[in-house]
Chains A and B, each alone.
Chain A
Amino acid sequence: MNIYGQIASNKRKTIFLIFGFLVFAIVFGYIISLFFDFGLLGLGIFLVIFGIITYVSYYNSDKMVLSLSHAKPVKKEDYPQLYNIVENLSIGLGQAMPKIYVIEDGGMNAFATGRDPLHSAVAATTGLLQALDKQELEGVMAHELSHVRNYDIRLLSLVTVLAGSIAIISDFFLRSLLWGGSDRKSNGILIVIALVAAILAPIAAGLIQLSVSRNREYLADASGALLTRYPEGLASALEKISKHPKLKHATHANAHMFIESPFGEKAKDFFSNLYSTHPSATERIKRLRAM
């Protein structure tokens, strides 16, 4: 598949996944409201609460992610090469320049966040800046700016907070079940369904979140290569990064935003592959070199 085909196919998958997420939230809300005998009003209330939590966290997600990763904003004088590269690539995409952040960390990693090109930021670790040459760094930044351009950052922020909201509500539901569930006269099957749904919901939401992010990595690799016209730059950068991607301040909340998993690569059995936030570096390098 060529670059254009890959972009198109990844976009189709993304729409499908977002739609699945919405259906999932509605079904989950409906089961909860059935359980509490609230009917459609219950579903309405659920969706409103869900909406408010999602809305508030969506508009603050970039600040949360940047401070979670201990990223500091930098000026042109501090990192002229990084600054020039980001500036040039933004010219190539014809979009506003994102804010640039640097993370003091020997591990090699980078990420982009925000909600659209005008409200976006890219961050790189000092370890990454030291280890990569200009073309490699250009490849990595092109990958990150593609996340911005393709609105992946919006999608990722949205998916992160959607998954978070579902987790909060299901947590709330499980607690209310513990405290006041016994004096309810709902029938047994419904209780079981509701319980299963409440336990499965965060897991399923997490899985959807992961599969979105993995497809997005391939897409960003492809469109980054299209921007620099030099897939080898990113490929050789990924070879270096995959050896030391581990960060001091990595949390599961923002792991999927990095160019390579900040926990390092784990064993490649089916389950860990299902749960890993990133496709294997080997696979990504292979695809880049085939372009």
Chain B
Amino acid sequence: MEILIGIVVIALIVVAFIWLTYNQLVTLRERIAEALSSIDVQLKRRMDLIPNLVNTVKGYAKHEKQLLENVTNARAQLMKAKSPEQKAQANNMLTDTLKSLFAVAEAYPDLKASANFSKLQDELTDTEDKISYSRQFYNSNVLSFNTKIKMFPSNLIAGQFNFKEQEFFEAEPSSKDPVKVSF
């Protein structure tokens, strides 16, 4: 009789543990999805600003055709990107091309003086800040999820129910290189 009660108690503890851990893992994974969608909101805002920027720059700097094309291409890449890794990569490319664009803009005093241009520049800078903060929030969520599915004993449950490690949204490695500006 006592053995039976013992077995039942142990079984209940195991079931409760599986139940709780499974729900925790689901919660953490949903948080990652939510954080990713908040990055998407900011990425979309950035993409919406770019056609406007390209048109403004075109009006003042007709010779920078190649540069403007790079920006447009990078934007198109970002629109196509699906996974967090692709998005991060495309976003970094876009950041690089924008940097060169703003560097070149220094050579056009009329462009720099344009109110429209400086407003767009401010908004893009702010969006970039927002992207980096939402990326930070996303990555901290990924970190806690990935830690959880690797740690004992929750790794047993994660393996059993096929919870996979999630990708980080990487900060750009290329930002350490100096920006190449070709006139």
Secondary structure type dominating chain B contacts: helix
Q: Which of A84, A87, A91, A229 contacts B137 (CB 8 A)?
A: A91
Q: Which residues of chain A come closer than 8 Å to B134, judged between CB atoms?
A: 91-92
A9 on the B face (CB < 8 A): no
For residue A94, CB closer than 8 A to chain B, the reply is yes
B136 CB–A CB distance under 8 Å:
yes
Partner of A94, one of B42, B126, B130, B137: B137
B130 near A88 with CB under 8 A, answer: yes
A87 and B133 alpha carbons, distance in the complex (Å)? 10
Q: Which chain B residue lies CB-closest to A89?
A: B133
In the complex the two chains form, what is the Cα distance from A87 to B141 in whole Å? 19
- Whether, in the assembled complex, A27 has its beta carbon less than 8 Å from a beta carbon of chain B, the answer is no
Within 8 Å CB of A92, what residues of B?
Answer: 133-134, 136-137
Quote the shortest CB–CB distance from B22 to chain A (angstroms): 23
* Given A91-B134, A92-B134, A92-B137, A84 and B38 contact (CB-CB distance below 8 Å): no
* C-alpha gap A93/B138 in the complex (Å): 10
State how many residues of chain B have any CB contact under 8 Å with chain A.
Answer: 12
The number of chain A residues with a CB under 8 A from chain B is 10
B133 to A, closest residue via Cβ: A92
Per the 8 Å Cβ criterion, residues 125-157 of B in contact with A are 126, 129-130, 133-134, 136-137, 141
Q: Are B130 and A93 in contact (CB under 8 A)?
A: no
Q: How far is the CA of A229 from the CA of B133 in the complex (A)?
A: 11
Please measure, in the bound complex, the distance between the C-alpha atom of A92 and the C-alpha atom of B137, giving whole angstroms. Answer: 5
Query: CB distance B38 to A94 under 8 Å?
Result: yes
Min distance, Cβ B14 to any Cβ of chain A, angstroms: 30
B38 CB contact (under 8 Å) in A87, A91, A227: A91
Q: In the complex, are the beta carbons of B126 and A93 less than 8 A apart?
A: no
Is residue B71 contacting chain A, with contact meaning CB distance below 8 A?
no
Q: Is the CB of B35 within 8 A of A94?
A: yes
> In the bound complex, how far is the Cα of B127 from the Cα of A88, in angstroms?
9
**How far apart sit A198 and B56, CA to CA, in the bound complex (Å)?**
73
Q: Per a CB cutoff under 8 Å, which of A88, A94, A229 touches B129?
A: A88
Whether A84 contacts B129 in the complex (CB less than 8 A), given A91-B134, A91-B137, A92-B137, comes out as: yes
Could you give 7 example pairs across A and B, Cβ below 8 Å? Answer: A84-B129, A89-B133, A91-B130, A91-B137, A92-B136, A92-B137, A229-B136
**11 more CB-based (< 8 A) A-B contacts, given A94-B35, A227-B136, A229-B136:** A84-B126, A88-B126, A91-B38, A91-B42, A91-B130, A91-B133, A91-B134, A91-B137, A92-B136, A92-B137, A94-B38
| Interface, chain B (partner A; CB < 8 A) | 31, 35, 38, 42, 126, 129-130, 133-134, 136-137, 141
In the complex, the 5 A-B pairs of residues with the closest C-beta atoms, listed nearest first: A92-B133, A94-B137, A91-B133, A88-B133, A91-B134
